[in-house]
Each structure stands twice: as C-alpha cells, then as structure tokens.
A = this chain, B = another copy of it.
C-alpha cells in the first residue's frame, strides 16, 4: 500500500451541497450481510464498487457510527447482495432501524463459503473476506476479496438516483422462445 498526502486541500464544499450532488450519481442498491462470532447483521448500501480482478476485490463503505459496524469489524467477512426490482421493501427494511431478526425473516437466505447470508434471487452475490480496512473521515472502506459468487442472469437491477428507486432492465435472454 502506498500513501501520498496532499496537504493544501481545505474543502470549500458544504456537506449538504455534497449530498445533493451525490444524489445525482446513480448507484446500484445492495444489501451487505455478515454472520460469524459477532452475530448476524446486514445493512443497505449504495457505496459499493469493484477495485480489481487480481485478486478479485470490491469495496464497501460503512459509517463507523452505524450500529452494525462492530459486528462487521469483528466478523471480517461479508456478502454483497446486489438487489433486483423486487427488493425495494427489503432495501428499506435493511436501511432503517428494524431489528436484525425481522430484517432477515423478510427474505430467503443461503450460504456459500464464508457463512455470510446470501440473498436468494439477488442480481449477483459476492461472498467475501475483508482483507483490509481504510478509515476516511466518518467512514471505513472495507476491502473485500471474493471467495465465491452467485449470479442470476436476465433479472433487472435496482438503482437509486435522485433520491428514488429506478428499475433497470438488462439484456434479453439470447434463446428466448417466442
């Protein structure tokens, strides 16, 4: 890891202006889950992206003041479940204050390698170990190496843009019988 500090930066951007601009950056909606010695937990996140395929690594941003933070920190494994259009209610449930038991009882889950809950019917699921954590301001960036994958092709994705949900339809199945 290399670090290069630039010290001249003094931000001229207000927090609310930044949030308004970020609302204009469309993002996939994901439910991030974990299970392990610290117990089971999950939260909704749009701050997820791919880093590299060598080794296959993605990242998830998590507020250190979130109630789920200590659980993820201790378990050091998680699953990124990318949501489909049927998951709006589930997204809201995992983005609110609902108790964990109630959140998980609203869907069907399985496991792959790490034991983190894998959402049945997700567009894609990335079952990962957390290999590194970088703290920036209020948040931790969790660097996550994929240990196993599950994909469901040809189902539409759920997007958050302009502070509302949108539905995104991908490629049609190649061998559709008409």
Contacts and interface: CB of A to CB of B under 8 A. Distances in A.
Interface of A: 1-6, 8-9, 11-13, 15, 17-22, 24-28, 30, 46-59, 61, 63, 73, 76, 82, 113, 123-124, 126, 129-141, 143, 145-149, 151, 153, 157, 159, 161-164, 166, 168-171
A1 to B, nearest CB: 5
Given A24-B124, A25-B124, A159-B168, 20 more contacts: A3-B132, A4-B73, A6-B129, A6-B131, A11-B146, A12-B113, A12-B147, A21-B146, A24-B153, A24-B170, A26-B27, A26-B168, A49-B61, A52-B61, A52-B136, A53-B138, A54-B138, A164-B170, A164-B171, A166-B170
Copies in the complex: 2
B9 A131 contact: yes
Contact of A47 (B6, B50, B126, B164): B50
